[in-house]
């Protein structure tokens, strides 16, 4: 079966309640490609509000989680709490978590394991810095990040349908720079090859690999034409009306 196109909107730490309502109401009133899976990820304090306000067919994700079920971990939320709240998805390993908050590869892998144990679906973010790209280490870095997760979670093939991989080059996050279609395709194709070699051919064929990094209505159509690019994780543009155009970009392929 063809992989279903996937578009997620990561609001990051943006928006007050009125802003969140405006974004959600715009999505609710818009025609969205029925063949695209759509997800939005508001700040944690608004998760339940958005869950109850958004129309059927749009899913909701937490932006992060911790690796423990509960305990003295001030400021964190656990996969157990996310699942208990009826939130089916969580983003793990976003470059801002890795670079600003010290989520090293092993920490990301532990969070993935914990989220899977609670039945959550995961957007697993991977990607290289500008220095790593300029050193020709992009594929090596991304494969290492995937290797760390595989060692932690064990039989990936059994849960591959619950993991969406998001390639997000760190140098393109919030900078206005974007990987070219060819650059994105190279990493996506290598990631699929890694999956075939380390997880299984069926998992490689079924796993959705999406792109994130200054995605906009202007560049999404060209990116969406790449054979191994199965959607987008959108940052700033998900706060704007053009998010609908990105969701519907698959219609223009």
> Where in the sequence numbering do the catalytic residues fall?
94, 168
* Residues comprising the chain, all counted: 253
Which has the closest alpha carbon to 50: 95, 87, 2? 87
Alpha-carbon span 29 to 234, nearest angstrom:
20
Burial classification of residue 28, based on how many CB atoms lie within 10 Å of its CB (0-12 exposed, 13-18 middle, 19 or more buried)? middle
Look up residue 247 and give its two tokens: 């969701």
Q: Which run of H or E residues covers position 202?
A: helix 201-206
Alpha-carbon span 223 to 249, nearest angstrom:
9
Task: Report how many helices (DSSP H) and strands (DSSP E) the chain contains, helices first.
Answer: 11, 8
Look up residue 190 and give its two tokens: 């290598």
């Amino acid at each position: 079966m063809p992989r279903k196109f996937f578009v997620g909107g990561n609001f990051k730490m943006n928006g007050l309640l009125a802003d969140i309502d405006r974004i959600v109401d715009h999505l609710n009133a818009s025609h969205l490609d029925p063949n695209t899976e759509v997800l939005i990820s508001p700040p944690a304090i608004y998760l339940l509000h958005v869950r109850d306000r958004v129309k059927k067919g749009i899913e909701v994700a937490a932006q992060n989680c911790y690796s423990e079920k509960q305990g003295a971990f001030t400021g964190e939320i656990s996969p157990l709490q996310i699942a208990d709240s009826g939130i089916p998805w969580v983003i793990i390993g976003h470059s801002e978590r890795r670079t600003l908050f010290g989520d090293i590869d092993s920490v990301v892998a532990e969070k993935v394991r914990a989220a899977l144990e609670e039945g959550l679906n995961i957007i697993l973010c991977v990607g290289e810095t500008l220095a790593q790209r300029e050193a020709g280490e992009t594929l090596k870095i991304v494969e290492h990040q995937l290797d760390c997760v595989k060692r932690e979670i064990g039989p990936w093939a059994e849960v591959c349908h619950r993991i969406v991989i998001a390639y997000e080059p760190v140098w393109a996050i919030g900078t206005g720079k974007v990987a070219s279609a060819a650059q994105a395709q190279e990493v996506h194709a290598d990631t699929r090859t890694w999956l075939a070699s380390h997880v299984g051919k069926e998992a490689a064929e079924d796993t959705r690999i999406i792109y994130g990094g200054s995605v906009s209505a202007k560049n999404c159509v060209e990116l969406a034409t790449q054979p191994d690019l199965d959607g987008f994780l959108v940052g700033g543009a998900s706060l704007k009306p053009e998010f609908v155009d990105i969701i519907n970009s698959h219609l223009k392929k």
